[in-house]
């Protein structure tokens, strides 16, 4: 097996790896570091406070690299005017991949395809995957149990091959991928890209605080709790940062809680050090090659 897929080739990536978008903590420095390392770096557009700041961030990235990047539009959680403005900025700044989550991607797909861009949509169930494929998305991000951020309940062992069989579009594996063994496992289950969030929290470039990064390094899967009490939607958090007796909050205040209540997935168990993105990517590639060699 080669560390290459039809989708990674189409995007011009050295490795079939994505640094997944993370609310508040992905930043423009990560986009550039990922581009240089040969993987797809992604950021939620909302990590820039205003549409003007977002445009400035894209220009900053484009002044440093012409390699592919991905931008996440969190549809249901973002005012429509902001989504429209940020999509326009993406289309003007040569962003080849738009990642949609929490909503109906139909309008985004239409505008993105007119400009020859790709849309990948995040799902935790087959039902949502079918709807997104109906809306014309180019790939489905299958977010399995144990993922950082808003996660599903289905094991990646089943979710990836199941959605690949049922949906007939490329599947991107998300959730609990922290080292090269899991990259090989995901590709063998039929994934065309691996989407890693938690591993990249513990990167030098990430905007998370040093304390957050160290807690990811120090934690194991049992230190992660799956709860809807923070923002009203089930997500995984580092238990030590979740106060007791919390009530669910779907308002914008709920989203603000992510600043002090830190999200990460069960993959923390295999994150052992904070490293630069270039070193993390080379580690992942070496571990994947070693795994393949051992299997052969
Ligand atoms: C702190 C944090 C914030 C996240 N924010 C977002 C987000 O704003 N939009 C989104 O689509 N996914 C978000 N995610 C999910 C990731 O994009 C990705 O699906 C997930 O991290 C993959 O699982 P892993 O963390 O186990 O690698 C977030 C994840 C984390 C850990």
Tens digits of per-residue pLDDT, 200-254? 999 999 999 999 999 999 999 999 999 999 888 999 999 999 988 777 777 767 7
Tens digits of per-residue pLDDT, 17-66? 999 999 999 999 999 999 999 999 999 999 999 999 999 999 999 999 99
Pocket residues: Cβ below 6 A from ligand 1: 20-23, 25, 44, 72, 74, 101, 122, 143, 147-149, 174-177, 195-198, 263-265, 267
| CATH superfamily ID and name for 6-206+276-295 | Aldolase class I (3.20.20.70)
Ligand 1 binding pocket mutation candidate from 26, 105, 142, 149 (most atoms within 8 A of CB): 149
- Name the residue at shortest CA distance from atom 14 of ligand 1: 149
- Name the residue at shortest CA distance from atom 11 of ligand 1: 101
Q: 3-state SS of the chain?
A: CCCCCHHHHHHCCCCCEEECCCCCCCCHHHHHHHHHHCCEEEEEHHHCCCHHHHHHHHHHHHCCCCCCEEEEEEHHHCCHHHHHHHHHHHHHCCCCEEEEECCCCHHHHHHHHHCCCEEEEEECCHHHHHHHHHCCCCEEEEECCCCCEECCCCCHHHHHHHHHHHHCCCEEEECCCCCHHHHHHHHHCCCCEEEECHHHHCECCCCCCHHHHHHHHHCCHHHEEEECCCCCCCEEEEHHHCCCCCCCCCCHHHHHHHHCCCECCHHHHHCCCCECHHHHHHHHHHHHHHHHHHHC
Ligand 1 binding pocket mutation candidate from 17, 19, 20, 54 (most atoms within 8 A of CB): 20
Distance 160 CA to ligand 1 centre (A): 17
Model confidence band, residue 1 (pLDDT cutoffs 50, 70, 90): low
pLDDT given for residue 249 in this prediction: 73
Distance 236 CA to ligand 1 centre (A): 10
Least-confidence region, from 169-173, 244-248, 275-279: 244-248
- Name the residue at shortest CA distance from atom 1 of ligand 1: 263
- Name the residue at shortest CA distance from atom 4 of ligand 1: 22
- Name the residue at shortest CA distance from atom 21 of ligand 1: 197
Ligand 1 atom closest to residue 262's alpha carbon, by position in its atom list: 1
pLDDT given for residue 245 in this prediction: 79
Distance 56 CA to ligand 1 centre (A): 23
Does 100 score more than 70 pLDDT? Answer: yes
- Name the residue at shortest CA distance from atom 6 of ligand 1: 22
Query: pTM above 0.75?
Result: yes
Q: Where are the domains of the chain?
A: 6-206+276-295
Distance 167 CA to ligand 1 centre (A): 22
Ligand 1 atom closest to residue 141's alpha carbon, by position in its atom list: 19
């Amino acid at each position: 097996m080669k560390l290459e897929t039809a989708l990674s080739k189409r995007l011009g990536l050295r490795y079939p790896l994505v640094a997944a978008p993370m609310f508040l903590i992905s930043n423009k420095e990560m986009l550039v570091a990922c581009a240089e390392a040969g993987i797809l770096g992604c950021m939620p557009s909302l990590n820039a406070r205003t549409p003007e700041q977002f445009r400035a961030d894209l220009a900053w990235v484009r002044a440093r690299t012409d390699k592919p990047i991905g931008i996440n539009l969190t549809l249901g959680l973002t005012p429509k005017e902001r989504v429209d403005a940020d999509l326009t900025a993406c289309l003007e700044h040569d962003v080849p991949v738009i990642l949609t989550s929490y909503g109906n991607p139909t309008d985004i797909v239409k505008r993105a395809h007119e400009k020859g861009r790709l849309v990948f949509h995040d799902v935790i169930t087959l039902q949502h995957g079918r709807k997104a494929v109906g809306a014309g998305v180019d790939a489905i991000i299958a977010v399995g149990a144990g993922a950082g951020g808003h996660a599903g309940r289905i094991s990646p062992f089943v979710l990836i091959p199941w959605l690949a069989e049922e949906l007939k579009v490329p599947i991107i594996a998300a959730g609990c991928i922290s080292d090269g063994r899991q990259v090989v496992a995901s590709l063998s289950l039929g994934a065309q890209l691996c989407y890693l969030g938690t591993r990249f929290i513990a990167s030098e470039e990430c905007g998370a605080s040093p304390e957050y990064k160290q807690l990811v390094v120090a934690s194991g899967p049992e230190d992660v709790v799956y709860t809807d009490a923070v923002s009203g939607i089930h997500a995984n958090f580092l238990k030590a940062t979740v106060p007791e007796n919390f009530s669910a909050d779907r308002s914008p205040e709920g989203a603000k809680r992510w600043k002090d209540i830190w999200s990460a997935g069960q993959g923390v168990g295999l994150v052992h050090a904070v490293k630069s993105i270039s070193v993390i990517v080379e580690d992942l590639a070496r571990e994947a090659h070693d795994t393949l060699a051992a299997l052969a």
